[in-house]
Structures are given as structure tokens and as C-alpha cells.
Structure 1
Amino acid sequence: MPMSDWKPSIMIRCFLLLFCLLAPQALPAEEIDFEEQILPILEERCLYCHGEDEQESGLRLDLRARMLRGGDSGLSAVVPGKPEKSYLIEVINHVDEDMAMPPDDDKLPDEEIDLLTRWIKAGAVVPGQMDDVVNEEIDHWAFKPVVRPDIPQRGVSFQLATPPQRGGSQLATPPQRGGSQLATPPTPIDSFLLKQLAEQGLSYSPPADPRSLIRRVSIVLTGIAPTPEQTNEFIEASAIDAQQAYTELVDRLLQSPHFGERWAQHWLDVIRWAETNGSEANLYRKNAWIYRDYVVRAFNEDKPYNVFVQEQIAGDSMGAGEATGFLVAGPHVPAATVGREPSAIRQARADRMDEIMQTVGASVMGVTIGCARCHNHKFDPITIQDYYSMTGVFQDVEFGSRHPEFAPDHPRRQRGEEIWKQIAKQRAVLRPIGGWEEDWGAFREMHFKPVTTQAIRVRFKMGNVGLDELEVFGPDNYGENLAHKRRGTKVSGFPEDGTEGRNPIRRVNDGEYGTMAWRAKKDKGSDQQPYVQFDFEQPEKISRLRLSSNREYFYDTDYLDKKPYLPRYEYDVDVLQSDGTWQPWVGTWFVNTQLDKEHPERKAALREIQNQIETLAEEGPRPSFVGRFVRPEVTRVLLRGSPENPRDEVDPAGPAIFDGDLGLTQQAPGPKRRAEFAKWISSEENPLTARVMVNRLWHHVFGSGIVPTTSDFGKAGAAPTHPELLDWLAAEFVHPTVSGNEAWSVKSMIRQMVMSAAFRQASEPRSEGIAKDAGSALLWRFPPKRVEAEVIRDSILQASGALDRTIGGRSYRIHNEKKTYAQWEVVKNYGPETWRRMLYQERMRRVDDQMFTAFDFPDCGQVRAKRPVSTTPLQALNLMNSDFVIHQSERIAERAEKESDGELKSSIIRCFELLLSRQPDADELDSCLDLARQTSLSLVCRTLLNTNEFAFLP
């Protein structure tokens, strides 16, 4: 066929066929020879720092499996087939100069970079290593499953007779029935301790005397010293049957409502709970105290610990919404301080998520999870992917307030339902009359006759308008915002860009309350007033509008001298009719003024509604700083912890080393994420949860944990002094075999500890014990320790007779009301309004309470699993000269005089009984008589308050 007869389409097809036949090798990826082309580059450029002998930043490049795993950055150095996701390609291309590789050398030649890129794209083939994997072995004791050890078989008799007390026979113990010895079988705890003591050639000290024992166990269990009457009763009962007397004492203390207060304080220390956010503004967290009351209640009810943990993570779906205050207990920077710069907002959000990680890691897991925020953990097998997978669990949590979800039998919910009935009764009076407005503090709500419409328009009569949210509700599905953007509702109006283009109108229906608002200002000389229009996806039946200017500010904070301002909005509402015209429906002027003239009874009904609203805010479910919930965002690994460098997506999960796969995806709703994580972390299969909690209980009973670093069970933490005992306690906590009580019972575990002979032994030093174990870690004696600030303060109030023992409720105030960015100042910390237990004192971050901060009371900025114990001159000065101590010492002296008929010698004896639970010896009595005659009895009291005997656990 001549060329002139070929058609163009035939020529093109033939050309393509010829190309495919002649060049088939151009289609598949070019094969790269690793030995000849890639290995020489690695040997010359990389393996000196990242080879067999040295692995800087934890990265090793001579093994394919280690390339896939990556180094400390947490990013895979090589992702087969995906050079764009391979961190190796990024660093050799000097994308980030701070991480350019090789360091201090010129960039690799382009041809070498090209070879490495094509090698990875072709599958990163390394002959002989294609099936190799890196398995992270669990070689650390704390990460291995709990295995119950056998109890050492060792019998022993304990001497229970008490040595003579100082002061002669004043309060000496009478001889015990049956002689000076009582055989007592050792508890399992004692069996473990005695075995280890015997290996060191040590033994227990003699038993503590009854006076010391009741003071010790009372403070450990309730945080309050015993009264003189309780002390004498116990001494008398111990003389008859020491074992029975002590058992009854322990049971009574465990059932005391003050038990929950004492142990709640320990928990609040660990999670850094406070009532201010700790930032520059350090704003007060409104009603955060309901979480504190939840913790007190949980310990008093002996809520199983696994349930206690679950509720604090997912209480909103368990009828315990106040428990989620746990998640937002740490400090945070509020939106008003962050500003509007997008990068600053992203950074602040990442910081808040890290606070949650620190709280969960330190309190429940006993692992420093936060160390993996920027790179793989340096010591423990927790990767940066683990860290961000855990943040994925809590992506729906935001620092702020909400109405907590309460179970049907919760007293606050029941009271709320009563109040709502009264509000509904008054609304029924108003409904036939016409529209009305209610002021809920955070928002104003307009009620009007129901109407079905496709769109509404709110026309403001005000020149300046600020709205963080404008919500529309109907008589059906009472709490559903029909105007929310998630329902497809379109918002428009004037001006659309808000003031100076910085406050767009889309903010009025985005579901976010706070500073990000629509702000509109009428132009001078213009007749155009601000308005908002909502177009619904389909006709909706509406009956209420809700408007607010900064609802978050009202819900979240309080005690400011300039209260959050809620303007009275003046507006008219139009509804769109089926013919496309707008019909005026309701106006605030008519509702607020004209109807009052026409219906005088309307004012009384409105006044009653406002009264009930105020009552509801105080007695019913109230907006409280226990966290608010948002729609979860996609979770990504942030390279070096920077929100500006997001990498691969990760699903919500716990750390892989602990089998933390929850079977969830990015599409899982927030409550489900937290509920599944709560089940996982509180399961008996988790190797850390039970170990960490029983060790924490041991720490507060004996003064130091079996693992001294109570919130770090990782490789950087301290080793356990009694590893077998720790595992036995953990196993017993989950599956009780000795106590016969319920699983995960905190009270039962504490009871076993304080019933042990180890707890009941004397605290006096012995030369052989000091020589071998100066810190008393092996418990050859009960380790003496200074009591906490709260114990000192509460015991002073008890001695004076002023202690208000009311359980729970709003914190008592000692601070001023302040401007937003001013600092809190202590106004009065010693008046009658402050005479409750110190647990209920306003707990402000970064504020010295001018008295008990000197006794190492934490400021709640850092985890305080173990409070430091310092000795400073300020402590003595505060216990001698502070207004609180002077005032209470005068009251103690007055009480002693009254109860001693004014006789000075008897009054001094009574002061000793009230403060030290004993009578003075002859020398002490003579010295105090001289001091009282020269000065006053109150100065004797102040002197006793400054003794080690008052401030130390015997």
C-alpha cells in the first residue's frame, strides 16, 4: 500500500504498536542493584553514625527492618514504594536545614539522591533481608503481665506489749490481758517483708504504743488526728484486747466520710487538679469543684478502681459526667490569651492534648507518655506513633465547661428535674399570652408562637452587634439547634465579613462559643442595619431563639471584678412564607414592653422563671469545668511535636507494646473512642494499672512506694524494693483471695496494709537498721514522716473546736476578685468562713496562700505523685506568727481554760491533750507553767504547734 493511501489514524496506531514492541523496558520501574549502587552510598555517607557500632538518634541503616522502623523521630526512614513518605529522602534533600543529613557536610550529589529515591520507589530491596522484622521485646519488669507469686511460708510471733511512754504513768498503757505477749499470725504482706528482712539480718521493731498507733492510723486514713477522748478509749480497749480494738478502729476510720476527703487529696495531687488554669491570666475555673466532690464520693463509696478509672475517661456515657473533670485537670492557656493567629491556635491545642497525656500517663499508667511527643521515648518502648494514637482517643475533649451528665438517681439531677417542672409550669402561663425572653446568664432565650418556615431573618435594631452563636430551636427535639451548619443550614446577612473583615458571619452557627464571634457595626450615615438570615435545608418548625456574645467565658470563669457582659439584644424576627415574602413574626420591643402592659400577670410569671433559673444554677446540674466535647479532628503524627509539620494519620489506640489496639478508625465518634480506651486501660490484662495503684496506696500508707517513683514505672524509674510483694498486691487487688471483698476495692487493699504488723511497729531508730537500711525502705521500722500541710491545718482547727466537718460543696474563698490579667491575692485566710478542711480551700495555681505553701503544698503546675518535704524557717514563722495560728491558739487556750475550770495547770495539761493526744511530763509541765505565767496560755499552744511531735507521724 502506498504511503499516500494510509489514513492518519492507522499511522498513529502503527506507531504506538512499534513503540511498545521496541521499548518494553521503559514501563516497569528500573531495577536497582543494592550491592552495587546503594550500599556504597550508605557506607560512605551514613553508616559511620547509623551502622552496627553506633546509632545516633536511634537510627540504623545497615538493616532493612531498622530502616522501616526508623529512629527516635518515630518516622520510617524508608517506606517501600513511597519515597515521598520516607524520612531518609527528606533529610538528604535538606527540606529542613535543622535536620539536614549528612550533618556538617555538603548535600549528597543529585545522582546519589536520585538512586536512593528510585531504590525506595522500586521496593527498597535488600537481598537476604526482605523477611526480617524488628520485634520489640518486653524486657522490663513493669511491662510484663502480673503473675501472682506464692506467699513465703514463715511463721512469726509479734510482741504487742507497749514500752513505757514518756511522761511516766500519765497516759501509760495498763498491762495487757494475758501477759506481755500475744501471738499474731503474719499477714501475707508481713510474710514478704520478713523474708527480705531476714535476708539482710534484720527484723521488725517492737509494736508501736496505742497512743502513737491511733494517731498514725487516724491521720493516714482520714487526715485528721484523733481527739483526746478517742485516744483514751482506744488505749483502754487495747488493754483488754489489742487486736480487736485495732480492728474496730480501722473499720470505723474506713467508714468515716473523712476517708474520702483524705484519699481524694492524694489523687488530686497526681493529676494536678486546681481551680484556675495557670496561664498568664490564671482564670478561675467555674464550678470545677464538682469533680473534687466526685472523687471524695468515689473513695467513700469504695467505687471499684477500674470503674473509677473508666468514669473519669468516659463518664459522660456512664451517668457520671462530672468525673471527666479528670481529663481537664491540668493547666491550659485559654483562647483569649492564645489570640487569633492560626499557628498559635494549633500550638495551644497540641499543648492541651499533651496535658491530657500527662494526666492519664502519670496517674493511671505510671508511664511518662509525654516524652514521646516529639520523638520515640528515650527509655521505654513507646513510639511517637503511640503518643499520637493516644491523643486520637481524646480528640473530642476540649478544656471548658458543660452540663455534666448525671445518672437518674444523682441528687443534683433529681433536684434539677423538680426545678424544671416549676419553670415549665410558668411557661405554660406565658405561652397563651405571647412571646417572652429569659436571661440564662450565658445567653438570652426568646420564646414565641411556633411557626414552620424555610428561612428566618433576625434584624437587629442595634448599631453594634456581637454574637458568638445564634441558635434556633423548635418544640420537637428540644435541644437540637436547627441553625447549626452541620444540618446544612446556610447563613448570610449583613455585614458578612463582620467588623473590618475579621469576624465573619459564619461564626454564628458553627457551634463554637467564645471569643471567635461575628461582630457587626453599622456604618455612619448608612440606613443598613445588621441582620442574620438562616436558610434551612427543608421547612422547620421553630419556637425559640438563643443568642450569646461569649457563652464560653460565662460558663468557664468567675470571680472577676468585671463580669462577662451579656447585652440585651433588640431585634425583630421575620419568617419566610411559601410565596417568597417575609412576614414579621416577633419583636423584642413588643415582647418586653407591650405585652407587659396588656397582661399584668406576665411579670409575676417571668420573675418566678428567673428565680427558678438562679436556683437551678446553684442546686441542679450546672455548667461546670469538667471538659466540653467537640467533633474529633483527623489525628496525625506531628514531627518533632510541631503542629506545623503533620505527617501520617494514626488511629485512636493505646501504646502498641501493651496491646493497645482498640479496633477503631478515624471515623469513630469521640465517646466510643474514650469508652473503648477506658475498658482497655482498666482491664486486668493491662500490666500497669493495678501495679501503679497498689503502689500508690502503699506510698501513702508507708511514706514511700515499693516503687519509689510512683508515677514512673519505666526504665528511668526506680526499681521496686519488693517486686514479689508488689505483684502479689496487684494480683490480690484484681482477684482477692485473702480479704474476701470485691475486686478492685481500694478500701480493702488499704485495710490489708494498715492491718499488717509492718504498719503497726514502732518508728524509733535502731542502730542495726540504720546501718543496713538508713531510709527504712525494707520496713524494719515504721518510717516517721512529716504530715502534709492539710493535716497540720485541719488538726489545729479540730483542737480549737472550730473545724467545720461539712462534706463537699463550693470551695471557701480566701482570694480577691480580680481583673482578667491581674493576679490573685490572698484577702483573708483565717476567718470563720475558712474553717472547713483545707481540701475545700480554693486551689489556685501560681498563688502563695501565705501560710501553708511553706509546707510544700503543691501549686498544681506539675505532677505531684510524691510531695517534697522541706524544712525552712518560714514553716516555724507561720506556725508561730501567722494570723491563722494566733487566732486558733487563742481559741485552743480558751477551750482548755473552759474545760479545766480556769485552773492553769489543768489548762496546760488539756492543751497537751488537744494538740498532742497526751499529757505533759513533769519537766514539760513546769516549763509551760513558767511560760504561761510570763506571757499567755495561747503562746504555750503556739509552742506546742511548733514541735516535731505535732508535725510528724509517729
Structure 2
Amino acid sequence: MNRILSLKLLLVAMACGIVSSGSAEDIDFENDIFPILDNNCLHCHGEDESESGLRLDRRVFMLRGGDSGLASVIPGHPENSYLIEAVNHAEADIAMPPDEDKLPAEEIELLTRWIQEGAVWPGQMDDVVTEDTEHWSFLPVVRPEVPEVVGGDEDHAIDAFLRKRLAQEGLDFSAPADPRSLIRRTSIILTGLAPTPERTEAFVTACQADGDAAYEQLVDELLASQHFGERWAQHWLDVIRWAETNGSEANLYRKNAWIYRDYVVRAFNEDKPYDQFVREQIAGDSMGVGEATGFLVAGPHVPAATVGREPSAIRQARADRLDEVMQTVGASVMGVTVGCARCHNHKFDPISIKDYYSLTAVFQDIEFGSRFPEFADEHPRRQRGKEVRQEISKYRKQLSAIGGWEEDWGAYREIHFKPITTRAIRVRFKTPNVGLDELEVFGSESSRKNLALPKNGATLTGFPEDGFEGRYPIDRLNDREFGTMNWRVELPKDTDELPWVKIAFDSPQEVARMRLSSNREYFYDTDYLDKKPHLPRYQYDMDIMDEAGNWKPWTGTWVTTTKLAKDHPERKAILDEVQKWINTLAEDGPQPSFVGRFVEPDVTHVLLRGSPETPRDEVPPAGPAIFSGDLGLDSSASGAQRRAEFAKWVTSTDNPLTSRVMVNRIWHHIFGTGIVPTTSDFGLAGAPPTHPQLLDWLASEFVDAKDANPWSMKSMIRLMVMSDAFRQSSAPNTEAVRIDASSMLLWRFPPRRVEAEVIRDSVLLATGALDPAIGGRSYRIHNEKQTYAQWEVLDNHGPKTWRRMLYQERMRRVDDRIFTAFDFPDCGQVRAKRPVSTTPLQALNLMNSDFVVEQSVLLAKRARNEAGDSLPKQVARCFELLLDRQPGDDEIETAIEFSESQSLELLCRTLINTNEFAFLP
């Protein structure tokens, strides 16, 4: 770094004329520069061979640079030109020519002067760098004509495209699925729950009269179900890796992260247009849906306490957190692996390292952590919050008439005292040991202005100024950063001077409240620790400065806690009421939730080889250049403005990826495999579409629907499940299997195993134990733990867990000891498509786990209650509840014999283990 700095200083000095650059004669490119390039560079960086993607045989390629993404030559600026760093051997990794073949000093000076004078290359000055691509997914969406099917009367566009492709292989659709298979398939795909036996029988009967009408009614009923949002929310959460712990060494819990999960469920149930859904998740803080930005911080991260205090480690961790945001946005919305351009230009796709850092510039104000979500006035939590605050205010007025008091807000203590106008306050602590992460001062109850902040004109001083051993400076008390980066004082017990803090204002201010906290970050961001950070209960006195500049005692712990309690015994009941309503507000009103917090956005630079220690050119907030991602912003734009403009750009109908990626994702969840099998990679390294014209027709229909709402996810899902392709049988066909064994061409509905959640929820539904409540806090299956201990599963089967698995605590790096075996994702990596494995552990868990054993008892009990004393009827009822059908003649005989020799409960466990229960028909 020192060598690079010295080189840049020298070059700047040369540019300013402070240091002589040698001869004043103009550089002659043909005689002075080209021989240097030809003799030393072009054999490795020419037309025939371009190591590291770098060509130096034409000026235009020099301006563009190689895989590093940095321009080799920046005319007029040799100090920023990568070529000059390389030939000066500023770093061993980039030294060119390598080893001992360094250019002579006079040749380096010639190259430097050439660049300083504009890098003139005769005959090439008008060449322009253009980035073109013919890759299908980067081209505009063009709506194709629906093909005419030879010999058919096709009126469904999806079927027309599919049948045309099948005909090319001599194939056609299979026969329609039987009604029982169809209702089970449709119900599970749309809601994640199997139909009840009664609903199945009603559907079978209705199909005998008018199968099409009965099916259409079924689809509309399932799309309107509140369980639809639960099912499809899980698909989205898989893609963005949402979980309720951070996945680091400590793997701390993310407090109230479930607020975002519930937002996603509501969005699908309300059929929120997809473009609005995306915009809200990127810029919901300015749209009245602040909880939606939980999307941006859904990935894992390392907390500050784990990173430590080394500045370079802090910078690296910040870059890593921004990369997690890039992975989330790139995979879910754009369908591009933008993270591959973090250290160099993308190896496959036309996305440069400058594009990557321009994208990080968009999200520079996002930090992993909690905040109070921004709610619109009509939001239920905001309405409830207003009601509760009115109650708190009512009791505060009673306390004000008596004197000062303290309130416990969990994250901080708020001290109220008689209002006074002053130019300064002083807090004198009565113990030699103090640890605070923030000290805030406010005026009246309605004021939200923290008078202790430097931006509001406050100056903070105290003793000792540097804190304990200089590691905890006093300015941390008003830096608006909560957590372990605090002010800490540890003085000898027999010290003559105790810690104190003075806050001086630039003009007289009315002060009436003070807040003290020791680690507010832990309270806001995490939970379920058996050693939670305690709130500071330090003894103190507070003085105010009078007009003459003298200190005057005003309040203190003895006044607010001891004296007033002794003089006014009625005060305790009022304080209890205040605390009761504070606790109610924390539960029912707006509450700090892990949906990201905001910081001032930094100026963004390209980081050479991805390292924060080697910042290079400044870049503006923007999308990738190949997609015309210019947002018209620079580094002065606010964070909210950056994200709002990006959200508009990424959801524009001109963006070729957004609609394609989402309709393909919907297709994947309906048919088991996307038209593009790599659902989060539409780049050159991804798989090509099996039906490209169908994909573009769906993408254009999604945004320009003629008979539905634009960007409607429910309408697109309905369109797909109403097709003959979806309604056909899944039975195999020998000739078709020979031609298309994976059923990619959809000559049948491809059978597949259902997800872990479907298995678990279907068991609970069959036993009648499922709690159908929508939303709310996750149910707990884990322990409380020490900070760096591991989570332990305590109860994964008891009655408190009998909700849908969507609401189970989602912990990274933790096996739930039952359904993780069924490929439930760890949430550490993007899971646009879950793997499907077959292992002995799956059968063992479905036979012997506490959950299945307990639920089998409940299922047998239900069958006995509903079928009476007849064992054949009890057996038949078990088949109905689990498999939506009556047993066959051979099955009933075997099942009765088995139940008599073993038990009805064991029969239930056996049925739960069948492929029929675990696979879509």
C-alpha cells in the first residue's frame, strides 16, 4: 500500500508540474510507445492471446481493461491507470512484465507521460467500447404468436406451445388425471395441504356432472384460501435464504424477523402485484411498508461483536454483508449471479466489477440489524400503538405532578425529570465502573430530537475521556451506534475522581428526559440468551448549568427512586400502570424488528480484487450497464432515493429479466422444474430454456395480461394450473420415457416427492391437531443459550408446535432432528430449487420420531371416534385421512390383519411411510 501511495503522489506531482517529467517534447506513439508494448506486452496481451482477459493491442481495449474490471489506461490520469501500477511492480501480484523483467525507468516514464498527455494512439481515437450480447435472457421480451396445433382445437396458449414441441418428438399429452389425484395434486401445490376426505368426495361427485366447472371452482377456492399465502411465501423465503438466526459462530437469534415473513404471506394472499412486491422489499421504508425490507437482510451475516475492533476486519465484514445483499437481490429478482463480479469481471456474463460495485452503491445505507418499521397510518400496529401511547401519556401526567421517575423500555432506561432550559447538563456517576453504549437527551414527551447528538449542536466531554485503557472512547456515547462498541470505564475502587459526562448545547435547550443503555443492539436484534445484557442501574446525580455558568443539582437516582417513593407511596401503582402499557406497546404496537437498519451511505469505490484495502475508482449507484442501468444518481443521493430509483428500474417492463425470472419460478413450483431449470441463473452458465417461446409468452402475459391484472401472481398461477398439461395423468409411458425420461417436455405431469413442510403439515391435518392460525411469532423448539453456545432442540413435537412448519423457528446450522432429513434448506445458501434425496433416515424419522409416534396415536384415536367400534371402518378411515381414498380389497384385508396383530397406531405410522403419502400423484 505504501508503494502504491508513493507512486500516486509522484504521479500527481508530475501532473501538477511540481516534479519534472523529463523532456518537454511531445510523445511520438509510433516511435516511443508502441515498441515498448510490442516488445514486452503484446505476446501475452494481444489479439491472439489475452491473458486475464486483457488486450493491449488497441486503445479501446486499454480503456476497458481486463478481467480485473479496471481500466488499464485512463487518459490524463496515470495515477489511476492500472498499467502504470503494473509496470512499476507496485504489488507482486500484478507486476508486469513479471519476475525480474521490469521495464527500465525511462520506458515507464514514457508510458506515464503518454497517458498524462491523453494516451493518443493515431487512428484509434474514435473507437468506442460497446458491450453487446446475443444471450437470449438479456434481450428484450417479445411476445410470440400462439402456435396453431395441427388437428386440434387448442384454446389454451400453454398447451399450444407444449403440444407443438411434443409433436416434434412424436409425443402428446397423457390422459387426464383421475379426480382424486387431481384434487390432491392441486391442493398441495396451491396451499401445501392435502384436501380433507369430505372435500375430495364432493369434488369427485361434482366431476361426474361437469368436471371442468368443478375443477375451476376448486382452483378459485384454493387461490382464495389464506393457506395459499403460507405455501407460496415459503417458496420465496427459500430463494432469499430467510432465517431467524445470523448463521455466524454465535448464530444469534434475529428478534422479530418473523414480521417480514408475515408480510410475504399477506402479499401472496392479497395478490400484491409482483412489481409492487419487489419495490416494497427494496424501498418499503418510503412506501409505508417498512417491514418489507427484511428481504434485504435475509441472508447470513457476522455480527460486530464477532468481527472485533481491527479496522481492516470491520471493513471486510461490511463488504461481506453488502455481498449478502447482492446475492439476495441478484438471485431472487434478477436471476443473475452478480456476486461473481465482486473480485473481477464476471467470467461468463457481461457484468463488470464496476457494475457490481454500482449495485452495492444502491444499498450502501443498508446495515444488518433492527429498526422500528415504517408503517402507513392505516397499519394495525400503528393504530394500536397510538392507543397505547395515549394510555402511557395519561399516567405520565400523574407522575409529572409528583416528580421524576424511571421507565424500563427493555433496550434502555428512560429517566423523566422536571423540564428545565439550560446550556449544559452533567451526569456524575457514583461508581468507578461504568459501561454505556449511548446516552441520549430529549425535551418534552412529544419530542424525538436527541439533543446529545453532534449534528444537533452538542459537544460531549467527560472523565476519563478515552475510557478504559483508551479502547472505549467517550464519543461512543453519542455516535448513534448501539451494541458492544461502547464507552467503558474501570477505575480503581479507591479513586478520588469518579466518571462523569458533560453535554454542552450550542444554545439553551429544554431538557426533560434522558436515556441510558449498555447494549441496545442485543435487545433490539437478538433474544433467547440465558445471559442477556442488563440495563444499567448506575447510581448518578445530574446537574444543570445555570445562566451564570454554575452547576446546579437537578435530579439523580436517589431523587427519582428513593425519596419520591418514600414521600408518595401512591406513586408505585401509577408506575406499575406505565410499565404495563410499555410492555403492551412492545407486543402490540410497532416494535424493533430485524428488517435492517439504515446508515449514512458512503461513497462507493471499486475494490481491487474485492479487497476493501484497495479502493479504486468511485462509482455511482446504478444497475448493470448491459441492461441500461443508469439511474441518473451520484454519490450525493440519499439511501432511500438510491433504492427507490433502483426498484423502479428493476421492475420496469423494459427490464428483460424480472418478468422472465418470476414466471419461470412459478412454473418451477407448479411443474417441478422451470422452463429454465436453473431458476436463479439466467446467465450464460445457466441452463437454456426448454420452451423459449413459451417463456417469453408467459413473461409478456405476466406484465400485459389482457384478461387479468398486470403482474398478478395468482392470475399467472391460475393460468398454469388450468392447462391440460397440469391436469394430465402422471402415469408412465414406455415410449415417452425412452424419448424424454425426465418429462421435461411435459408429456405427463412429472411426479415428485413433496417438501418436508407438506409431509409434516399433512400429518397434523390428518390427525385434526393442526392449528390453522395465520401469522404471528414463530413457535419455539429450541433452548435459551449462552452467546457462543449452540442451539439445542428441546421440543419438536409437543402441542405448542402444532402449527404449520412455516412458523417453526428457522435456525441456520441447526438440525430439527426430524424434517431436516427431507432436504429442508439450511438457509445459508440460495435454494431456488431444493434437492431431493432418499435416505434411510427419512424412513426412520417417519416411523420412530416422537412427532410421528405421538401423531399416530391421535390419528388412531380420531379414526376410532369417527368410525365406531368396527376395525374395518377404522382402517378405512385411516386410509381416507392420510391418502384421500378407500383401501382396495387386498389392502383392507392385509391392513386389518396387521392392525389386529400389531395396532391401529402402527398401521398409521406405516401409511405415513408410504410413497403415496409423500409424493404428488
40, 53, 56: which one pairs with 1:58? Answer: 53
Does residue 43 of the first structure (1) align with residue 38 of the second (2)? yes
Give the aligned residue type for 1:341. E
- How far 1:28 sits from its partner (Å)? 9.3
CA contact (8 A) 1:186 1:756 kept: no
Displacement of 1:156: 6.5
CA separation of 1:249 and 1:391: change in aligned 2, threshold 3 A: same
CA drift at 1:768: 2.1
Q: Equivalent residue for 1:872? A: 839
Deviation at 1:736, TM superposition (A): 0.5
Check whether the contact 1:186–1:757 (CA below 8 A) recurs between aligned residues. no
* Number of the residue aligned with 1:240: 209
Number of residue equivalences: 902
Residue identity opposite 1:61 in structure 2? L
Between 1:287-296 and 1:33-42, the stretch displaced more is 33-42
Counterpart-to-counterpart distance in 1, 2:49 and 2:468: 59
> Structure 2 CA distance, aligned partners of 1:71 and 1:29?
32
The residue aligned with 2:553 is: 584
User: Structure 1 counterpart of 2:819, which letter?
Assistant: F
**One-letter identity of the residue aligned with 1:578:** E
> Contact between 2:516 and 2:536, CA under 8 Å: does it hold in 1?
no
Q: For 2:44, what is the secondary structure of its paired residue?
A: helix
Residues 214 and 226, structure 1, Cα contact 8 Å, conserved in 2: yes
- The structural deviation recorded for 1:569 is 2.5
Task: Kindly indicate whether the alpha-carbon contact (under 8 Å) linking 2:728 and 2:749 is maintained by their aligned counterparts in 1.
Answer: yes
> How big is the shift at 1:476?
7.7
Question: Which of 889, 896, 903 is the aligned partner of 2:870?
Answer: 903
Q: 1:145 aligns with which of 140, 149, 153?
A: 140
Separation (CA, whole Å) in 1 of partners of 2:76 and 2:573: 75
> Would the aligned equivalents of 2:544 and 2:552 in 1 still touch at CA under 8 Å?
yes
Identity %: 71
Could you tell me which residue of structure 2 aligns to residue 369 of structure 1? 338
Q: Return the offset for 1:692.
A: 0.5
The equivalent residue for 1:687 is 656
Matched residue, 1:798: 765
Please state how far the C-alpha of 1:725 moved relative to its aligned partner.
Answer: 0.8
| Paired position in structure 2 for 1:604 | 573
Distance 1:30 1:551, change over 3 A: farther
Residue in structure 2 matching 1:928, options 878, 895, 899: 895
Q: What secondary structure, in the 3-state scheme, does the structure 2 residue paired with 1:636 have?
A: strand
Selected match of 2:192 from 223, 231, 234: 223
Q: In 2 relative to 1, CA 92–26 (structure 1 residues): closer, same or farther, beyond 3 Å?
A: closer
Which residue pairs with 1:95 in the alignment?
A: 90
RMSD: 1.4
Residues 714-863 of structure 1: pairs in structure 2 closer than 5 A: 714-737=683-706, 740-863=707-830
Task: Indicate the SS of the match to 1:953.
Answer: coil
Answer whether contact 2:69 2:353 (CA < 8 A) is retained.
yes
Question: Residues 129 and 236 (structure 1 numbering): CA distance in 2 closer, same or farther, change over 3 Å?
Answer: same
The residue identity in structure 1 corresponding to 2:785 is: K
- The amino acid that maps onto 1:482 is L
Q: How big is the shift at 1:773?
A: 1.2
Q: Is the 8 A contact 1:156 1:186 kept in 2?
A: no
**Distance 1:933-1:195 versus aligned 2 partners, 3 A rule:** same
Name the amino acid aligned to 1:516: M
* 1:520 matched to 2:489: yes
Spell out the pairing of 1:636-655 with structure 2 (5 A cutoff): 636-655=605-624
User: Measured at CA, do residues 796 and 476 of structure 1 come closer, stay the same or move farther in structure 2, by a change above 3 Å?
Assistant: closer
- In structure 2, the partner of 1:172 is none
Corresponding letter in the other structure for 1:804? D
Task: Work out the CA distance in 1 between the residues paired with 2:150 and 2:776.
Answer: 49
Q: 2:164 maps to which residue? A: 195
8 Å CA contact 2:773–2:803 kept in 1: the answer is: yes
Contact 2:432–2:495, Cα closer than 8 Å, also in 1: no
- What displacement does 1:232 show? 0.5
Q: Which has the higher mean CA deviation after the structures are superposed, 229-238 or 101-110?
A: 101-110
* CA deviations over 1:824-867 (Å, ceiling 9, x no partner): 11111111000000000000000011010110000100000000
* 1:706 aligned onto 2:675: yes
Equivalent position of 2:255 in the other structure: 286
SS of 1:267 mapped into structure 2: helix
In structure 2, relative to structure 1, the CA distance for the partners of 1:862 and 1:26 (3 Å cut) is closer
Distance (whole Å) between structure 2 residues aligned to residue 143 and residue 185 of structure 1 = 31
Partners of 1:81 and 1:347 lie apart in 2 by 32
Deviation of the 1:599 alpha carbon: 2.0
* DSSP 3-state at the match of 1:252: helix
Q: Does 1:76 align with 2:71?
A: yes
What secondary structure, in the 3-state scheme, does the structure 1 residue paired with 2:43 have? helix
Q: Shift of residue 626 of structure 1?
A: 0.6
Residue deviations 1:390-409, cap 9 Å, x none? 11111111100111111111
Q: Counterpart in 1 of 2:228?
A: 259
The reply to whether residue 491 of structure 1 matches residue 460 of structure 2 is yes
Deviation at 1:601, TM superposition (A): 2.3
After TM superposition, list the pairs within 5 Å mapping 1:535-546 onto structure 2. 535-546=504-515
Per-residue deviation, 1:26? 9.7
The separation in 2 between residues aligned to 1:68 and 1:440, in whole angstroms, is 57
Summarize deviations over 1:695-749 as a string: whole Å, max 9, x none: 0000000000011000000110010111111111111111101xx2211100000
Larger CA deviation: 665-674 vs 692-701: 665-674
Contact 2:432 2:493 in 1 (8 A): no
8 Å Cα contact 2:63/2:72 also seen in 1: yes
Instruction: Kindly provide the CA deviation profile for residues 593-636 of structure 1, in whole angstroms up to 9, marking residues without a partner as x.
Output: 11122222221111111111111111111111111111111111
CA drift of 1:477 comes to 6.4
Report the alpha carbon displacement of residue 29 of structure 1 after superposing the two structures with TM.
Answer: 5.2
Is 1:122 the counterpart of 2:117? The answer is yes
Secondary structure in 2 aligned to 1:50?
Answer: coil
The one-letter code matched in structure 2 to 1:35 is E
Q: Which residue of 2 aligns with 1:945?
A: 912
Taking the aligned partners of 1:806 and 1:693, their CA distance within structure 2 comes to: 28
CA contact (8 A) 2:436 2:536 kept: no
Unaligned runs of 5+ in 2: 1-19
Q: Which amino acid aligns with 1:951?
A: A
Given the two structures, how large is their TM-score scaled by the length of structure 2?
0.97
Q: Distance in 1 between matches of 2:34 and 2:182?
A: 72
Tell me: CA distance 1:908–1:105, structure 2 relative to 1, closer, same or farther (3 Å): farther
CA 185–229 in structure 1, closer or farther in 2 if over 3 Å, else same? farther
Instruction: Write the letter of the residue equivalent to 1:540.
Output: Q
CA distance in 2, matches of 1:192, 1:351: 44
Aligned mates of 1:351, 1:258 — CA distance in 2? 36
Q: Which amino acid aligns with 2:97?
A: P
Any conservation in 2 of the 1:452–1:539 contact (CA below 8 Å)? yes
Residues 368-767 of structure 1: matches in 2 within 5 Å?
A: 368-475=337-444, 478-737=447-706, 740-767=707-734
> Aligned partners of 1:884 and 1:522: how far apart in 2?
55
TM-score (norm 1): 0.93
Equivalent residue for 2:287?
318
